[in-house]
Structure formats: C-alpha cells, structure tokens
Amino acid sequence: MRLSEFWLLADAVFGDSYARTLARELSLDAFDSLTPAAALEAGHAPRDVWHAWCEQMSVPLHLRDGGDRERMVPPPR
C-alpha cells in the first residue's frame, strides 16, 4: 500500500476532516502509543498502520476498503 492510498482510505473510512484529526490524535496500541501520523513518519509500513488504526477503531475487515469494492487493500500481516 502506498502512502497516497493510505490517506485515500482514511478519508473514505473516517471522513475527510475527521481522518486527519484522528491521525494526529489517536494513540495506537500496536505501535507503542504512536499516532497513525507519527507511525508513518517513523517509517512503519502504511499497510501495517492502516490495519492497526482500523483495529483500534473497530472497523470491520469488509469496510476497510472505504466502500470501494474495486480497491485492493492488502490483508493484515
């Protein structure tokens, strides 16, 4: 997953404005309390950050594609 795809998914799943706020404010348990934005800046793979964020927010697997069934979201590792 590319970084641009990560942000497109974030906007689709959480909403344009709310996604950016969550990315800066939400602490991810899977990344030792880093926010999604900080985890990306630290060099973690967007795919891993995406699934950790969705897990933290209880987003079901079938909704993690942002409602676009054509979009290929790599499965969690």
Classified as helix, coil or strand, 77 is coil
Q: Which pLDDT band holds residue 76 (cuts at 50, 70, 90)?
A: confident
Residue among 75, 25, 21 nearest 45 (CA): 75
In a domain, 36, yes or no: yes
Whole-number pLDDT of residue 74: 81
In a domain, 7, yes or no: yes
In a domain, 8, yes or no: yes
In a domain, 73, yes or no: no
| CB 45, CB 1: distance < 8 Å | yes
In a domain, 70, yes or no: no
In a domain, 76, yes or no: no
pLDDT in tens, 3-57: 999 999 999 999 999 999 999 999 999 999 999 999 999 999 999 999 999 999 9
The structural domain count of the chain equals 1
In a domain, 72, yes or no: no
Cβ atoms < 10 Å from Cβ of 36 = 26
Residue 39 belongs to what domain range?
3-63
Report pTM: 0.91
In a domain, 77, yes or no: no
